[in-house]
Structure 1
Amino acid sequence: MRKYSILWASLAVLVLGGCGTKHFTLSEPKMITLKTPKLKFADTGYLRTDGDGVELELFTAGVAVEKIRIDGEVCVSAGCMNEEKFVREYLYPDYPVDTMRNVLLGRDIFGGKGKEEMCDGRLFQFVRDDEMDIIYRRGKGEIYFKDRLNGIIVRINDLDENQSR
């Protein structure tokens, strides 16, 4: 009888444990540059997405050095936190809560404020006030976010695009 209890417990652990890992539908190699108050990085990585979930895995010399996962909460090597705390600590306190998620997914930031579409299909947003001076562009294999006043840069390029330059 004890043998069956151990078997059922092992089976339950395998079934329930397998549900804890998120499987992303899209995984693309990228050239990534991050410059924030707590992150400094420039090398290759993978951008993985699935709906609103996104993961950025960063590599240096082929070794994974950091993973940023946003899916309900934000998890980094230092631990997990809600998106508001992440934006406050890793970006800038006056940014909207979903700023990093939207940048990584190539979506509008700040509710589409200052959005312009260029004739080549790329999208630009300019957000300027006393606290920030942001240029954000996306399209043609690139995501580029720069806040000149706060010294924040997020740049993600397709590896193919970067190699042809």
Structure 2
Amino acid sequence: MLHIKYSIFILLFFLSACSITSYEHSQSKFITIKTKILKFSDLGYIKNTDNSVRLELFVAGNNIQNIEINNLICLNEGCMLRSSFNSEYLSENYPDTILQNIVLGKPVYEGKNFKKIGYGFEQKIQNSDVDILYKVSTVEIYFKDIKNKILFKIKDIK
């Protein structure tokens, strides 16, 4: 009996991470994502609250992928731990918060090599596992990791 209660609790915990969220902010953007698995460049919407983010990706007006970032990262195919998402879609060397921070234009790697530039900031992070250039301005978020062949560009729609 205890095993059944425990199993139900675990199931509810994982399902709650992908539950319906009422987002406070919604912005349309031109989004480019290039990773070893994800390849996308078109209109998208970024919706967020203080602790939750949803990317809605569209091609020719059709929603092709939703990515929800909470405690877990949920795709159309299902939910996974942030670290598992990074390993499968990005790089296992990235911190768990990297995707959410990129989408929201917040510093990555706990602000390492943070440099204020104009109306934004820039970070250059290089080590044996990554070679990252990350720039955030009022009109664009740009993240490129040369070693892992990953690119994120999020631009305001004019």
TM-score when normalising by structure 1 = 0.82
**For residue 84 of structure 1, what is the aligned residue in structure 2?**
83
Please tell me the residue identity of whatever aligns with 2:129. E
Q: Could you tell me the percent identity over the aligned residues?
A: 36
Please give the root-mean-square deviation of Cα atoms over the aligned residues, in Å: 0.9
Please tell me the residue identity of whatever aligns with 2:77. A
**For residue 132 of structure 1, what is the aligned residue in structure 2?**
130
- Does 2:90 correspond to 1:105? no
Deviation at 1:68, TM superposition (A): 0.6
CA distance in 2, matches of 1:108, 1:52: 15
Matched position secondary structure for 2:128: coil
CA distance in 2, matches of 1:137, 1:78: 30
- Does 2:36 correspond to 1:48? no
CA distance in 2, matches of 1:129, 1:84: 19
Please tell me the residue identity of whatever aligns with 1:37. K
Alignment map for 1:136-155 (pairs within 5 Å): 136-155=134-153
- Does 2:62 correspond to 1:60? no
Deviation at 1:132, TM superposition (A): 1.0
**For residue 8 of structure 1, what is the aligned residue in structure 2?**
none
CA distance in 2, matches of 1:147, 1:137: 12
**For residue 13 of structure 1, what is the aligned residue in structure 2?**
none
TM-score when normalising by structure 2 = 0.86
CA distance in 1, matches of 2:131, 2:54: 26
- List per-residue Cα deviations over 1:61-119 (Å, max 9, x = no partner): 0000001100121001221001111111111011111110111111110011111001x
Larger Rg: 1
CA distance in 2, matches of 1:37, 1:79: 19
Runs of 4+ aligned structure 1 residues displaced above 3 Å come to none
Deviation at 1:40, TM superposition (A): 0.2
